[in-house]
Amino acid sequence: MNTNQSMTGFVKESVENLNEEKLLYYGRRFTTGQVFGDVASVATFLKHNGVRKGESVIICLPNIAQAIVALYAINAVGGIANITHPKIGTDGLIRIAEKTETKWIFIFDRIYVKHRKELAAKGIKSIVCRITDCMTVNKALRLTEPILISKSAVRYNSTLVKPSTFDVEIKGEDVAVYLHSSGTTGDPKTVMLSNKAMNELAVNIYEFVGSPSDNTMLMTLPMFHGFGLGVCVHLLMMAGRIVLLPVFKAREAVKLMRRHKINYMAVVPNMLRKLTEQKGFSGKKLKSLRMIFVGGDKLDETLRKRAVEIMKNSGSECKICEGFGLSETASVTHINTDCKDGGTVGKPIGGVKVKIINDGKEVPAGEEGIIYIASKSMMNGYLSGEEAFETDEDGEKWLNTGDIGYVDEEGYLYYKGRVKRMLKIGGVNIFPQEVESIAEEIEEVRNACAVRTEWNGKPALKLLVVLNGKNKLTPGLKQKISEEISSKIMPYAVPKYIEQAEELKLTGMGKTDYRYYEEKEKGKR
């Protein structure tokens, strides 16, 4: 497969049958030919309205058909798909638009209402997308509501113009996507991913899926999530079909699994937890599942075992595969497809190299250090121009991930936590994520978040726990949690404070927002 071309060209070259089913969306089924017919129309609209090669166009949409059409239409004219979180605040959206010199935005109608005045004032032209635009007529008529749009905005259906031919030279190294990442240092950054990086990712994940006619992915992760973009969309556009779920709701996901015989899903641990708590997540509907990819946050052992048990009782051979990756590498670099126990995130996928560095030197198997990655799907760099790579004597570019871990003798990677989250207590390195994982293995505990605080003027941990059912945080349960952590890690890792929380605040990516709780702790000092 030729990865050194546009994302759009790569998918078109990979697909053999234009009549095969590609997208399923609220009762409507799009063939590959229909999807790329719409891509050609929208690309023509963008080209005729001044979008040039290398220019940013924002996609601020949930998992709806227009998001996928917009991605490939922008790519077809050589533009850069600037993918943002649909729930972003107005100030944040305008800041991204100004930083990337964006003139056009594909935006969900309900979100557009919140931002329209500021977008119009900044001269940013909106293409307003509705959940009903691509539905069957009957369903659309039932859900259509009037919406006022400004003179600088157009409705999505108005972009479906008669396609025309145009000539744009697009190379593999050209930037195709902007993703907004916390960066490997924890500071917000805009990652620039090339066409080739996205295509290489799809090729190297392809080995984990079967024949193109027999792959159905339930798109639960959003496109602003690297795995959602690179695997749920780009891989399946090349090799399978996509069932769209605009916003993740466990109950809706289960309904779609029953209806469409889903083979693959990609989730963050909190999504998997919600699925396992659904009564309908069982039985025959799970038999078609082959793999559930889990990433974005550490998967605790109790949750993994619960999911595995549900699959076993349902007669499903589905694997629960934890993985590891970064936006900087177009998402995934490791997948535990062997389901090896012990907390590993798996071996590298094709095109990925890993090494562990401690005190500036590469360490042997089994020793901890900072995880460095080299990958064929590596980003071009950060939009800011900040130096992102360390180049070795062979000219290989390595990315310091900012994560701590080790590689065993067989090449399996073990992720311990973020460098920025690590703290020293009594001269010993303590990883909050390890503490959380141990706590979550306890029967009474559903979720946990460990944050740094102070005790008698020294660094310490506070543990917030969400409990199962009607359990209460009694002195006995506190002691049980402390003893488990002490026995499985060390006494230094035992939190000085353990408190009960009703729920834990999540980031837009579905991860526990530990930074929120750390800021609250700072405010108390």
Contact assessment for residue 333 and residue 226, using Cβ atoms and an 8 Å cutoff: no
What pLDDT does 209 receive?
65
Provide CB contacts within 8 A for 476, sequence distance 6+. Answer: none
206 lies in some domain:
no
191 lies in some domain:
no
What pLDDT does 112 receive?
94
Domain encompassing residue 351: 212-418
Q: Is the domain of 93 the same as that of 54?
A: yes
Contact assessment for residue 271 and residue 295, using Cβ atoms and an 8 Å cutoff: no
CA quadruple 145, 148, 151, 153: dihedral sign: negative
Long-range contact pairs involving 422-431 (C-beta distance under 8 Å, separation at least 24): 423/452, 423/459, 423/461, 424/459, 425/458, 425/459, 425/460, 425/461, 425/492, 425/493, 426/492, 428/490, 428/492, 429/404, 430/461, 430/489, 430/492, 430/493, 431/404
Domains: count for the chain = 3
What pLDDT does 456 receive?
83
Buried b (16+ CB within 10 A) or exposed e, 436-469: bbbbbbbebbbbbbbbbbeeeeeebbbbbbbbee
Mark which of 418, 439, 474 sits at the end of a domain: 418
Cα–Cα distance measured from residue 459 to residue 440, given in angstroms and rounded to the nearest whole number: 23
Estimate the share of the chain in helix, then strand, then coil, as percent rounded to the nearest 5: 35, 30, 40
What pLDDT does 89 receive?
85
What pLDDT does 146 receive?
60
Cα–Cα distance measured from residue 483 to residue 488, given in angstroms and rounded to the nearest whole number: 8
204 lies in some domain:
no
Mark which of 386, 418, 450 sits at the end of a domain: 418
What strand order describes the sheet that includes 458-467? 445-455, 458-467, 497-500
39 lies in some domain:
yes
Count of residues making up the chain: 525
Q: Is the domain of 241 the same as that of 372?
A: yes
CA quadruple 473, 475, 480, 485: dihedral sign: positive
CATH of the domain at 454: 3.30.300.30
Q: Is the domain of 163 the same as that of 253?
A: no
Averages of pLDDT over each 10 residues, the chain, 525 residues: 95 90 90 96 97 97 96 98 91 92 96 93 95 67 61 92 93 96 62 97 81 79 92 92 94 94 91 92 93 86 92 95 92 92 91 94 95 96 90 91 93 87 76 88 92 86 93 95 89 92 82 85 71
Strand pairing category for 80-83 and 56-60: parallel
Contact assessment for residue 340 and residue 322, using Cβ atoms and an 8 Å cutoff: no
